[in-house]
Amino acid sequence: MSLTLQEKILQAAAELFYSQGIKATGVDAIAKAANTTKMSLYKYFPSKDELVLAFLRKRDQDFRAWFVEQIDARADTPKAKLLAVFDVIGEWMAIPEFRGCAFINAAAEFPLEGNPVHQVSAEFYDHFRSYIAGLAGQCGSKSPDSLALQLSLLVEGAIVSEQMKRHSGAAEQAKQAAIVLIEAA
């Protein structure tokens, strides 16, 4: 445990932002959830916008570290790792707290391309695609970038589909489609 006050605030903000939406979450609610006050919140984060960006940047780091760890624990070969991607997101989507992808949701809440929140969200998927492209390249795919983009479309589609309606089998179908696409490439 023993979290810094700053970390406690960021953690409370993350849970509320993710579960309720960013614009739907006020700074008073964050301070109360972190068992502190607005004064302390604004000591560590100069504005709500900065707190939102801090939330997304931490989410980016945490999620990517957790994700590759999960993949590496399940598969050894690049091809098996590509397929394991869909098992990992399938399990993630099954937890009750699942509310879609924080970056997709943030980009939807801040639709302008120039908005920093939107940009940070876009960068996350750039990195995600690069990771998939790396695996695709190791598989000997002729066009790893194309395959990576296609697979990431399946991932994003599955996340959004599951967010809209739970337990619709999106992850399984995404994996079946991925098998076909990987085999064809």
Partner DNA sequence: TTGCGACTATACCGATCGGTATACTTTGTT
Partner DNA sequence: AACAAAGTATACCGATCGGTATAGTCGCAA
Q: What is the 3-state secondary structure (H, E, C) of the chain?
A: CCCCHHHHHHHHHHHHHHHHCCCCCCHHHHHHHCCCCHHHHHHHCCCHHHHHHHHHHHHHHHHHHHHHHHHHHHCCCHHHHHHHHHHHHHHHHHCCCCCCCHHHHHHHHCCCCCCHHHHHHHHHHHHHHHHHHHHHHHCCCCCHHHHHHHHHHHHHHHHHHHHHCCCCCHHHHHHHHHHHHHHHC
| 35/168 with CB nearer DNA | 35
Range 26-65, binding its own copies (CB under 8 A): none
Stretch that binds DNA, among 39-47, 70-78, 104-112, 172-180 (CB under 7 A): 39-47
Residue 37 is a binding residue for DNA (CB under 7 A): yes
Residue 157 is a binding residue for its own copies (CB under 8 A): yes
Single out the residue of 20, 35, 143, 168 in contact with DNA (rule: CB under 7 A): 35
Residues binding its own copies (CB under 8 A): 19-21, 23-24, 99-100, 103-105, 107-111, 113, 118, 121-122, 125-126, 146, 149-150, 152-158, 160-161, 163-166, 168-170, 173-174, 176-177, 180-181, 184
